Structure 1
Amino acid sequence: ERGKTDFLRLRIAGRRGRSSGGDSPTLGIIGQLGGIGARPGRLGLVSDGDGAVCVLATALKLTEMQKKGDILDGDVLVVTHICPAAPTVPHHPVPFMGSPIGIGISMEKSVLPEMEAILSVDTTRGNRVINHRGFAFSPTVKEGYVLRVSEDLLDLMSSVTGRMPVVLPLTTQDITPYGNGLYHLNSIMQPATATGAPVVGVALTAEVAVPGCATGASQAQDIAEAAQFCAEVAKAYGKGECSFFDVEEWELIQQTYGSLARLQAGGYRGAIG
């Protein structure tokens, strides 16, 4: 028995958003995780839950802004799930959190057709690939392509942190669906397998490999900075001031090399994520 979870979906309507008939694009912010807890084996919030905490903090900030009259231009859709008793699964170099639901169901519930660009927020501490404490973001992934890192996002990260930006390295395996037998860094890029929209991963990171089931490993300042980054992206994206990818370059790469959408297929099959 893998337990159960609750999905949360929040829409923060923009002044010129699609929901009101406007022309400002819609940003999706997805909290990726197995669970926020691993009870009864582990008591308290686990490291893996920080993706959910971050996106809900972002939603709270944007709704509080809206109540005070600071309304974004575009709509923002925030989706995550909350499971206080998720299983753990073996993984190298440290154990991962499992999930009470399959990754296919998770993507079906999380990745919405209205999302025109997506930030996928996930704890990414269980590895030895990125050795930085704080957060990082990935290159843009779209329809099987790992595209150039967004200059606008680099600027926003530096503005939020006051430091040089940090980019999360990706491999081709990381952007393919779970369940295909390949090694994945984690599930941060799984939303890119379920949409044609550009997806950027926002990773909560550490200098050392920390198990997803570890408690006491959630750094409040790091989560706050990542949430602030997501909020700033939401502000800029709805105003047309933040591009996830270069449209002309996207057209050129497709004309030159064709579709790589096959990398979005061939997985799931009951895979847990």
Structure 2
Amino acid sequence: MLLKHLIDLYDILDSPAASGVEVVSYLRSIDADCDAQTSILEGEKGSTDMVRVYIPGKRGYAAGGNAPTIALLGRLGGLGARPERIGFVSDGDGALTVLACAAKLVSMHARGDVLEGDVLVSTHVCPHAPTFPHKPVPFMGSPVSTAAVNREDIGKGPVGAVLVVDTTKGNRIMNDRGFAISPTVKEGCILRVSEDLVSLAEIASGRRARTFPLSMADITPYGNGLYHLNSILQPATATAAPVVGVAITTETAVAGCATGATHLEDLDEAGTFMVEAAKSFGAGACSFYDDQEFDLFVKRYGSMAHLQTMGNLPAENPNA
């Protein structure tokens, strides 16, 4: 359960002065020795504060072991759309959820509940982000490019799998409140939904697992002129690791720039699922995909890694 951390972090992030420094200070109030860092990422439309937290495991790479590392990423344009909208926007739910995961994992580690593998948590904190038109509802923009955030999120370390949590309410594809998971995406291939993750989603929610469909365009980079559900699978364009989206969903289409649209109980379930997945993945008890099936697909049909690139035409918006 992450409700305490969600409430604490919501209070920090629901402010025009929200910053990575404040978030790191909060995490260090839980454990003064935790590896939490923040840095400023500059873009053509402004800047945002990147926040990265590294929680070492018993047998992870940081300890010289070989237990796999999982990355938990929070995707968003921004926490606020000031001055157009006052308050925390729906789009900020991804950052709030993943930072609550970080706080929970830091707390667990400080108390002696150490996971087997290392966990990387990354997102960004931006209380002043632009908006742009999108159907059926407006989208939140970002002062920095998606490609730049990808580079900061994933880094160059040995990441074995990635979970990306993102507000995914501005559509008519998902019509339930709570969270849903995507099929696994790896190197341009949309693979089948992980049975292990389905089981963990059902445990975390107490309901049948909800999953959502992807189009080929959804897993290509932003800025290529194609329709994207949202940015939830953009990290899949920047890594060879398997990536699964964790979508925060609603029954009706809610704009990313809408305020008063955050439901902490939904974020608690999604975050709990991500923490449980981190436990299981590092222990070797959770698989994101079948490696033999993936290898057979590539042998029969070739690599789909070109879908991780801009393709044959130049970018329509290189800053997207």
Give your verdict on TM over 0.5: yes
Q: Which residue of 1 aligns with 2:18?
A: none
* Residue-by-residue CA offset, 1:71-93 (whole Å, 9 max, x unaligned): 00000000000000000011000
What residue identity is the alignment partner of 2:298? Q
Counterpart pick for 1:176 among 213, 220, 238: 220
| Residue 270, structure 1, aligned to residue 318, structure 2 | yes
* CA RMSD after TM alignment: 1.0
Q: Which residue of 2 aligns with 1:6?
A: 49
Distance in 1 (alpha carbons) for counterparts of 2:196 and 2:150:
27
Q: Which residue of 2 aligns with 1:239?
A: 283
Distance in 1 (alpha carbons) for counterparts of 2:93 and 2:122:
14
| Residue 258, structure 1, aligned to residue 306, structure 2 | no
Count of residue correspondences: 272
* 1:68 Cα deviation from its structure 2 partner: 1.1
Distance in 2 (alpha carbons) for counterparts of 1:88 and 1:67:
39
Asked whether the 8 Å contact 1:103–1:270 carries over to 2, the reply is no
Q: Which residue of 2 aligns with 1:27?
A: 70
Distance in 2 (alpha carbons) for counterparts of 1:270 and 1:83:
20
SS in structure 2 of the partner of residue 11 of structure 1:
strand
Identify unmatched segments of 5+ residues in structure 1: none
Q: Which residue of 2 aligns with 1:248?
A: 292
What residue identity is the alignment partner of 1:19? A
| Residue 197, structure 1, aligned to residue 241, structure 2 | yes
5 Å-filtered alignment, 1:82-93, equals 82-93=125-136
Q: Which residue of 2 aligns with 1:81?
A: 124
* 1:161 Cα deviation from its structure 2 partner: 0.7
What residue identity is the alignment partner of 1:258? G
Identify unmatched segments of 5+ residues in structure 2: 1-43
Q: Which residue of 2 aligns with 1:58?
A: 101
Counterpart pick for 1:101 among 120, 138, 144: 144
TM, length-normalised to structure 2: 0.83
| Residue 124, structure 1, aligned to residue 172, structure 2 | no
Asked whether the 8 Å contact 1:130–1:169 carries over to 2, the reply is no
* 1:112 Cα deviation from its structure 2 partner: 2.3
Distance in 2 (alpha carbons) for counterparts of 1:221 and 1:52:
15
SS in structure 2 of the partner of residue 217 of structure 1:
coil
Runs of 4+ in 1 over 6 A off after TM superposition: none
Greater CA drift, 200-209 or 258-267: 258-267
* 1:19 Cα deviation from its structure 2 partner: 1.0
Asked whether the 8 Å contact 1:136–1:204 carries over to 2, the reply is yes
Distance in 2 (alpha carbons) for counterparts of 1:46 and 1:72:
33
Distance in 2 (alpha carbons) for counterparts of 1:223 and 1:64:
18
Distance in 2 (alpha carbons) for counterparts of 1:16 and 1:258:
35
Question: Percent identical across equivalent pairs?
Answer: 57
* 1:271 Cα deviation from its structure 2 partner: 3.2
* 1:168 Cα deviation from its structure 2 partner: 1.5
* 1:103 Cα deviation from its structure 2 partner: 1.2
SS in structure 2 of the partner of residue 244 of structure 1:
coil
What residue identity is the alignment partner of 2:214? L
Distance in 1 (alpha carbons) for counterparts of 2:289 and 2:116:
20
Asked whether the 8 Å contact 1:35–1:49 carries over to 2, the reply is yes
* Residue-by-residue CA offset, 1:172-217 (whole Å, 9 max, x unaligned): 0100000111000000000000111100000000011000000000
Of structures 1 and 2, the one with the larger relative CO (CA 8 A, separation 6+) is 1
| Residue 219, structure 1, aligned to residue 267, structure 2 | no
Q: Which residue of 2 aligns with 1:185?
A: 229
| Residue 164, structure 1, aligned to residue 212, structure 2 | no
